[in-house]
Structure 1
Amino acid sequence: MAELSRFYGIVIRMYGNDHAPPHFHAVYADRSALVEIATLRLIRGNLPRRARGLVAEWAKTHQTELVESWQRLNRGETPAKIDPLD
């Protein structure tokens, strides 16, 4: 598991050799969600509306980096940290 970013109490993580489709995990307090990278669609779980909006805004800005992180993790490499939402 790699922590890619952290902002406004939200932690973004990704796991190597995880199931398809390529996705990341967003955790906020006791809630979590899986978000598909290509579509930014919520696959599973839920977050409060504000946290969900922040995650969507951040992911849209960093979609290319998220794809690169997925690829690196699945090659057994460590992904780079991704800048938080400002």
Structure 2
Amino acid sequence: MPVLSIFFGIVIRMWHDDHPPPHIHVEYQGFEALVNISSGEVSKGKLPNKAAAIVKEWCLTYQQELMTNWERAQNFEPLERIPGADYD
């Protein structure tokens, strides 16, 4: 699964041709969650509160880039990396 971004130990991934609604896969210190791109909220799984807040803010900041990647993923096109919340 392609990695879109890594920041503060949080790994953001997206599957090609994944099921709706548009979402990202987040991994952090053994936790895994699906996060809706539109709201930044965890829809499945669990993240520590601080990590969830960081991911939500990042998701809303890069919502357009994430949706562009979602559309590319649905068409099996290469995905673009997105800067992390640590601006790396």
Name the TM tier (shorter chain).
over 0.9
What are structure 1's unaligned runs of at least 5 residues? none
Q: What one-letter code is carried by the residue in structure 2 that aligns with 1:23?
A: H
Q: What one-letter code is carried by the residue in structure 2 that aligns with 1:22?
A: P
Q: Distance in 1 between matches of 2:82 and 2:36?
A: 17
**Other structure's SS at 2:19 match:** coil
**Other structure's SS at 1:21 match:** coil
Q: Distance in 2 between matches of 1:41 and 1:47?
A: 10
Q: CA RMSD in A?
A: 0.8
Q: What one-letter code is carried by the residue in structure 2 that aligns with 1:61?
A: T
What are structure 2's unaligned runs of at least 5 residues? none
Q: Distance in 2 between matches of 1:17 and 1:75?
A: 7
1:22-74 superposed Cα distances (whole Å, 9 cap, x missing partner): 10011001101101111222110010011111101111110000000100111
Q: Distance in 2 between matches of 1:19 and 1:73?
A: 11
1:74 corresponds to 2:52: no
Structure 1 consecutive aligned stretches of length 4 or more whose deviation exceeds 2 Å:
none
Q: Percent identity of the aligned residues?
A: 43
Residue 60 of structure 1 is matched in structure 2 by 60
TM-score (norm 2): 0.93
Matches of residues 32-71 of structure 1 in structure 2 within 5 Å?
Answer: 32-71=32-71
Q: Distance in 1 between matches of 2:24 and 2:38?
A: 11
Q: What one-letter code is carried by the residue in structure 1 that aligns with 2:28?
A: Y
- Count the aligned residue pairs: 86
Residue 8 of structure 2 is matched in structure 1 by 8
